[in-house]
Structure 1
């Protein structure tokens, strides 16, 4: 399947190369940047400014883990000046980069070591294929300090690809770092004193956030939001929730809330969205900062923070 997709993409690239609709964006003189999914698009747009054109491979409202790329998207990756991705998070993107863009890809997983997945959260690979960062938690963007470090390195990579605008990239990265530092301060202050520190989540996306702010993540399922937890594990989470007086079971956007809602009803809690920012829903005016602040409000309410 992969070889067929790449072959189709190659043919498509030849087709569009003679057309006015150049997938690289070279016709407007801007640096063409492909971002694999929303948080990376956010950084690329904020740091790149008006000198880059950013294309997001994950469409709004689509869960990115199991994304399958269309031939036109593969052609866009091949024609880009820079591809920003996180190895292991979207295997289809890893495969296309290996074939079409290996020398012009920036893997944000290499900025800082990824944390191990929480116990019991490791995913089984049905195909038997091995991918980068197996057994690692990819949701690094949910720690604002780590996200800022990624932004700094992205600015350096943009400057390498476009030296004429190096200082502008550096300045915008500093502005982004300042915003993320302020966000980190808000989280630190708001979550310093809480009656509870356990957050029950539909899947194991919040490990970096929990570690940064001294919370304990209790995931119902593993790293994949579509994973099916065992009845025994669900029963264990329910017992813990009752013992700790958990008032809120968190589920995420873009996937079904059924398991979280069922567990919440069983333990006498409410079900509430905690957004892992893997994608922004279509038509939303929200961005990384606004969603993270919405998440903070929901956490402080759920944990009875003073």
Structure 2
């Protein structure tokens, strides 16, 4: 994956060790022998927003969630402070997605927390390039059939989360995100058996919401003038594949990588051929290249949010609301009928 690596320095790790055991201030209280904080809640550390949302929705009032990536911080670029590294070891449950944040991956590996859940192991990962999507001219149903065939062929010997070049942006596909939600629910039940029934109930409710969201996307994008959309970085491969669309990323998986002149020319030609109307940019990364491309090709611009974090500029207060805003933006750009 073309993500700029932010490795934790030896100095930072040494400082974290010096700190010793640090209480999660955002979670309140220290952990007791039963693995819960003194206020009776399960201390959950989430690496960034997509897993934070799952923890909050499924955990409800039984968990206290602390996220490593604060609002407005681009997750790929996160550098952990020594205090944060030290706090990881005090968590009852750690939820993260391997491959998005190298600094977090390394720190979590050294934390040694028993209940550590990598969301990438809870669903099937795939490799996506800058151009990703369904087969040209096929219906959504035919595309789903193709996707199913591909998954069956890859099933044997597939190692979740470790395959080189695997796309980690699984949360942008409501179906895959629901699979991850089920795994997170199971992990919380295991970590806190006394409230297992509540976690199960909350998981079922969230999975239903995601199922409804999937239905709305499938119906809303079934008949469109074009299937191609251009976006800042290639975060929407799973979404494109799910609904038979063609994602064309200006850059690769890293939102701050610079596209080559050849790639810009390719996108300009693709836009004319596929009747593309809109170049999408996002809230946590620079919009300069997207707006320049749009200006040079006479296209409109709009926001397609990869939901790596929620800020005051997000078009919604949570995952479901922002995803519905994404659907409306795609329908408008693609000429949904």
Q: TM-score, normalised by structure 1?
A: 0.91
Aligned partner (choices 172, 175, 180) of residue 202 of structure 2: 172
Distance 2:82 2:128 in 1: 32
Matches within 5 A, 1:3-18: 3-14=10-21
Match of 1:296 in 2: 327
Q: Tell whether the 8 Å contact from 2:117 to 2:187 is kept in structure 1 after alignment.
A: yes
Q: Does 1:244 align with 2:251?
A: no
Q: Does 1:81 align with 2:92?
A: yes
Q: Which runs of 5+ in 1 are unaligned?
A: 122-130
For residue 88 of structure 1, report the CA deviation from its aligned partner: 1.3
Structure 1 pair 248/75, CA: closer, same or farther in 2 (3 Å)?
same
Match of 1:107 in 2: 118
Structure 1 pair 174/165, CA: closer, same or farther in 2 (3 Å)?
same
Q: Tell whether the 8 Å contact from 1:83 to 1:101 is kept in structure 2 after alignment.
A: no
Structure 2 SS opposite 1:205: coil
Aligned partner (choices 130, 136, 149) of residue 179 of structure 2: 149
Residue correspondences, number: 295
Distance 1:281 1:208 in 2: 23
Q: Tell whether the 8 Å contact from 1:120 to 1:222 is kept in structure 2 after alignment.
A: no
Q: Tell whether the 8 Å contact from 1:88 to 1:134 is kept in structure 2 after alignment.
A: no
Match of 1:281 in 2: 311
Match of 1:127 in 2: none
Q: Tell whether the 8 Å contact from 2:29 to 2:39 is kept in structure 1 after alignment.
A: no
Q: Tell whether the 8 Å contact from 1:23 to 1:75 is kept in structure 2 after alignment.
A: no
Distance 1:65 1:235 in 2: 27
CA RMSD after TM alignment: 2.1
Q: TM-score, normalised by structure 2?
A: 0.83
For residue 103 of structure 1, report the CA deviation from its aligned partner: 3.1
Deviations along 1:204-233, one digit per CA (max 9) or x if unpaired, are 000000001000011110001001110111
For residue 119 of structure 1, report the CA deviation from its aligned partner: 5.7
Structure 1 pair 47/242, CA: closer, same or farther in 2 (3 Å)?
same
Structure 1 SS opposite 2:45: strand
For residue 102 of structure 1, report the CA deviation from its aligned partner: 5.0
Match of 1:128 in 2: none
Q: Does 1:59 align with 2:70?
A: yes
Distance 2:261 2:63 in 1: 49
Matches within 5 A, 1:23-102: 26-101=37-112
Q: Tell whether the 8 Å contact from 1:33 to 1:52 is kept in structure 2 after alignment.
A: yes
Q: Which runs of 5+ in 2 are unaligned?
A: 1-7, 133-160
Distance 1:136 1:92 in 2: 18
Q: Tell whether the 8 Å contact from 2:44 to 2:94 is kept in structure 1 after alignment.
A: yes
Match of 2:149 in 1: none
For residue 134 of structure 1, report the CA deviation from its aligned partner: 3.8
Q: Tell whether the 8 Å contact from 2:278 to 2:300 is kept in structure 1 after alignment.
A: yes
For residue 15 of structure 1, report the CA deviation from its aligned partner: 6.2
Structure 2 SS opposite 1:65: helix
Distance 2:72 2:28 in 1: 26
